[in-house]
Structure 1
Amino acid sequence: MSLIRQHGSAPKAEIAQKTGLSAQAVTVIINSLEAESLLIRKDPQRGKVGQPTIPFALNPDGAFGIGLKVGRRSFDLTLIDLLGNIRATLHENCAYPTVQSLLTFLEKGLGVLKMSLSDELAKRILGVGVATPYEIWNWTEEAGAPKTVLNEWKSFDFKEKINKIVHLPVYVCNDDTAACSAELSFGNPARFSDFLYIFIGTFIGGGVVINETLFTGKKGNAGAIGSLPRPMLNSEGQLTSQQLIMQSSLYILEKMLKGDGYNTDILWSSKEYWGDLGPVLDKWIDQVADGLAYAALCSLAIFDFEAIVIDGAIPINVREKIVLATKLKLSQADHRGINRCEVQSGSIGAKAQSVGCANLPLLINFSQDHASLSHH
């Protein structure tokens, strides 16, 4: 199924060739997946000689996943099908996330989400993927939230509490790892095998793909570039460091805009267009790109990635400016001993985290990434 997803569709002979399985084994597996409505037959393709071949593709209605994204400024509930199409989605903004507001949002939204499916198709929902920032309680000052409120998340058992509401398997994942999984499964048009994925949200974060597989690391936090310390000089000229979160995140833009008297509601209410934010936006884009170029060089020195893929909860025109600025800064950097790589935009956009967490139940059931994801 991973192979068919990657190629869009494939006939039995091609699947046998690429997997190394016998034609008979492939036929048995394909017949079984077709009987379970996970695969569908496409129109026969006629070649120059012999019988026409029948390609098989994933059936969009074969399975569904629900995603619950816990953001630092919002909650999202998303239903996707086996091809990653969003069938229904709900969004709610908040000043900061609380345990009770999350549970209320989930209970209210679950029924609304299921209304988009027939009773028969609703039985094919495989589970709920939850995407949450890593150690959400550790950045109270940056999030502008009371410490006592965010500390509630320390002892909150997502699987236990959410399972009581949804009565389905629950899988928990870092929010930016989830976004990376969406890019890997439903994006990545250049078919990169190895890439560092960067997502610019309220806080910046990332994910890692190696050998076309999501690499989550031992504790599930691989690609946490937001915590990457950047050496810098303080006002006294002493060497210190500052995490990338404090340079290349959306909340920094919010602070900069507020300082110049702008209304910052547009940052959270619209991911399509922010209007004219003037030189403040340009200054923020420049410092974001500066941080991304630094993170890219650090990661290239260790993993020798093919590409850096940049996405975020930001308008497309802003993302493109960040990509161009990052490319420019990387081209001007000292690359001695480090291979250059592609820098390109992600293809999922602002909903990547939401689609990614809804993708977790599908990945765990139907992909090669299940081993690295299911123990987190």
Structure 2
Amino acid sequence: METPEQDFLKAGGDAAESRMRGSNQSGLRAHNKRAVLSLIRRNGRLAKAEIARRTGLSPQTASVIMRALEAEELVVRDQPQRGRVGQPSIPMRLNPDGAFSLGLKIGRRSVDLVLMDFVGRIRGHERVAYPYPRVREVLDFVASAEPKLRSLLSPKLDKRITGLGVALPYELWSWADEIAAPPGAMEEWRDFDIQAMLATVTDLPVNVANDATAACAAENVFGATGSADFIYFFVGAFVGGGIVMNGDLVAGRLGNAGAVGSMPVPRGEGGSAQLINFASLHLLEKMYEAEGGDALALWRGSVSWESFGPLLEAWLDRAAWGLAHAVVSACSVYDFESAVIDGRFPQNVRARLVEKTAAAIRGINQQGLSPVTVREGTIGLDAREIGSASLPFFAHYLLDHRVFLTEPE
């Protein structure tokens, strides 16, 4: 049985092939190339006959497209597969060196820039932690970090850098009080044109997305969750998330779908608060700071998570309580198969948070709801960075129905 993505590709392929003799052949050819690359990316490797079958393109058209992609070095031949009869089929896979992108994650406590190859592997990573984000500091960081990362590639491969993807929180300026920024210090972000300003420090085209949406896209595109319907939570300085339905990332009418940090969660002592008040590393910072610790050490990587001791256990219990209620509330709106939890913490901490969240869900009345499985995310610490770096690939090579992005006209 074909997946929703394959149905989409086949529908697009049927329509495209029926119009190949029309006046828009170049646009249709580009669509078909994107469809084929998207299908190979989703499946890892595919032979030409299988590509033709899944897309609905004729074998001849599929062969022409594959030859073009191979000539552009976007795909390479894998080891031949011998069947029972006939010639062995030769599967094609994405060429890791076929294209590259840079991904910029602007966070509330740190800024990261990564160099990523065409199959989603991070080739280089630069990072700076700060008390709160300042425009000039971020621009200076990009101006310094970009040449370092590009120097990791040969001149030939450097020309294959497709663009710069940017992931940052929705309304970044509105979190000033929560991260103890000086009054008015973050107002500069309110009317900040990120694309125009980055053009002053890089010559690459820029694509922009919400940071949690980008993380969800990374899980959906490069992860191994194995689910086509899930609600996603990424626990960073604050918690955010995304929604995937039938394999597609749902952006929402205004691009703010999956704003899980704003979901109401009941307090044990009565009343309610938003999920960000339960499942955010900002809370662990505060707890650590109250005992005389350096809150920013959490972001510099200069403190071991084990050193938090009972503080970490208390935070995990609180975060699990909030996430459990958020998951159950979300499942009353849509019958998600899974709830995926990832974040900016070590894998063992993520595993414990998932375990505690699943246990907390079992203690909530779920009458009338479909069962949901709580899973660990499979991308990890770099989910937002990988998500941001995937934006240029969707803008130029892949079908972009999965990610909400913007690009200058």
TM-score scaled by length of structure 1:
0.94
* 1:369 aligns to 2:400 (yes or no): yes
The answer on whether the counterparts of 1:364 and 1:370 sit within 8 Å (CA) in structure 2 is: no
The answer on whether the counterparts of 1:271 and 1:350 sit within 8 Å (CA) in structure 2 is: no
AA aligned to 1:202 is A
* 1:204 aligns to 2:239 (yes or no): yes
* 1:227 aligns to 2:262 (yes or no): yes
Q: 1:326 aligns with which of 342, 357, 366?
A: 357
Cα pair distance change 1:369/1:295, threshold 3 Å: farther
Q: Identity across aligned pairs (percent)?
A: 45
* 1:336 aligns to 2:367 (yes or no): yes
The answer on whether the counterparts of 2:338 and 2:375 sit within 8 Å (CA) in structure 1 is: yes
The answer on whether the counterparts of 2:168 and 2:211 sit within 8 Å (CA) in structure 1 is: yes
In the alignment, what sits opposite 1:246? Answer: 277
Aligned residues: 371
AA aligned to 1:215 is V
The answer on whether the counterparts of 1:364 and 1:371 sit within 8 Å (CA) in structure 2 is: no
Task: State the 1:233 CA deviation.
Answer: 7.7
In the alignment, what sits opposite 1:22? Answer: 58
In the alignment, what sits opposite 2:83? Answer: 47
The answer on whether the counterparts of 1:130 and 1:172 sit within 8 Å (CA) in structure 2 is: yes
The answer on whether the counterparts of 1:214 and 1:369 sit within 8 Å (CA) in structure 2 is: no
* 1:116 aligns to 2:147 (yes or no): no
- The SS at the match of 2:243 is strand
Task: State the 1:140 CA deviation.
Answer: 1.3
Distance in 1 separating the partners of 2:129 and 2:93: 37
Q: 1:214 aligns with which of 239, 249, 263?
A: 249
The answer on whether the counterparts of 2:217 and 2:402 sit within 8 Å (CA) in structure 1 is: no
* 1:291 aligns to 2:294 (yes or no): no
TM-score scaled by length of structure 2:
0.87
Cα pair distance change 1:193/1:49, threshold 3 Å: same
The answer on whether the counterparts of 1:271 and 1:313 sit within 8 Å (CA) in structure 2 is: no
In the alignment, what sits opposite 1:304? Answer: 335
- The SS at the match of 2:332 is helix
Distance in 2 separating the partners of 1:275 and 1:371: 37
Distance in 2 separating the partners of 1:9 and 1:242: 47
In the alignment, what sits opposite 1:87? Answer: 123
In terms of mean alpha carbon deviation, does 85-94 or 333-342 score higher? 333-342
Distance in 1 separating the partners of 2:83 and 2:257: 45
Task: State the 1:19 CA deviation.
Answer: 1.7
- The SS at the match of 1:192 is coil
Distance in 1 separating the partners of 2:121 and 2:303: 19
AA aligned to 2:264 is P
Task: State the 1:370 CA deviation.
Answer: 4.5
The answer on whether the counterparts of 2:218 and 2:386 sit within 8 Å (CA) in structure 1 is: yes
The answer on whether the counterparts of 1:308 and 1:342 sit within 8 Å (CA) in structure 2 is: yes
**Mapping 1:138-157, distance limit 5 Å:** 138-157=174-193
**Mapping 1:139-178, distance limit 5 Å:** 139-178=175-214
The answer on whether the counterparts of 2:173 and 2:187 sit within 8 Å (CA) in structure 1 is: yes
Runs of at least 5 residues in structure 2 that lack an aligned partner in the other structure: 1-36
* 1:282 aligns to 2:313 (yes or no): yes
Distance in 2 separating the partners of 1:54 and 1:281: 51
Distance in 2 separating the partners of 1:79 and 1:147: 35
Distance in 2 separating the partners of 1:104 and 1:155: 19
* 1:37 aligns to 2:73 (yes or no): yes
| Cα RMSD for the two superposed structures | 1.8
Task: Deviation per CA, 1:345-374: give whole Å up to 9, x if none.
Answer: 111111111111011101222333347524
Distance in 1 separating the partners of 2:405 and 2:345: 30
